Structure 1
């Protein structure tokens, strides 16, 4: 499975997700609106997770690269 960079930045997706959750928690929306908000929240959570997974992979790669540099210096 190939991960692509989401179209919106992590911070924007996170902030919008927070707003969606706040609206859902506040209530007062119709069932249709609540369902639309829930669906958008799921999309935003997936976008955030994609960003976080990418960052984790980059950190792991940098860590592996750093370990290889240390190993080569010890020789």
Structure 2
């Protein structure tokens, strides 16, 4: 298994927490170059996982449509345009 591989069941919150820790490490400047490269690859994989989770959540969102009188008349799929 590649060091940058992210488990499929990793939650958005945990992936974000790990990504934030990696950013802090890289910003500290105290990480050797080889480790920085490994951390960057892991961070990139975590970023992609977070984006996937957000897109999946966005696809499930429905918006409430309102009638002319302002009363809810049903739901429509979210359009992320």
Superposition TM-score tier, normalisation by shorter sequence: 0.7 to 0.9
* Aligned residue runs from structure 1 range 1-75, under 5 A: 6-59=8-61, 62-63=62-63, 66-67=64-65, 70=73
Q: Please give the secondary structure, in 1, of the residue aligned with 2:54.
A: helix
- The separation in 2 between residues aligned to 1:32 and 1:7, in whole angstroms, is 28
Alignment coverage as a number of residue pairs:
61
The structure with the largest strand share of the pair is 2
Runs of 4+ in 1 over 4 A off after TM superposition: none
The structure with the largest helix share of the pair is 1
- The separation in 1 between residues aligned to 2:23 and 2:50, in whole angstroms, is 14
Q: Please give the secondary structure, in 1, of the residue aligned with 2:73.
A: helix
RMSD: 1.6
- The separation in 2 between residues aligned to 1:28 and 1:45, in whole angstroms, is 22
Q: Structure 2 regions of 5+ residues with no counterpart? A: 1-7, 66-71, 75-81
Q: Please give the secondary structure, in 2, of the residue aligned with 1:28.
A: coil
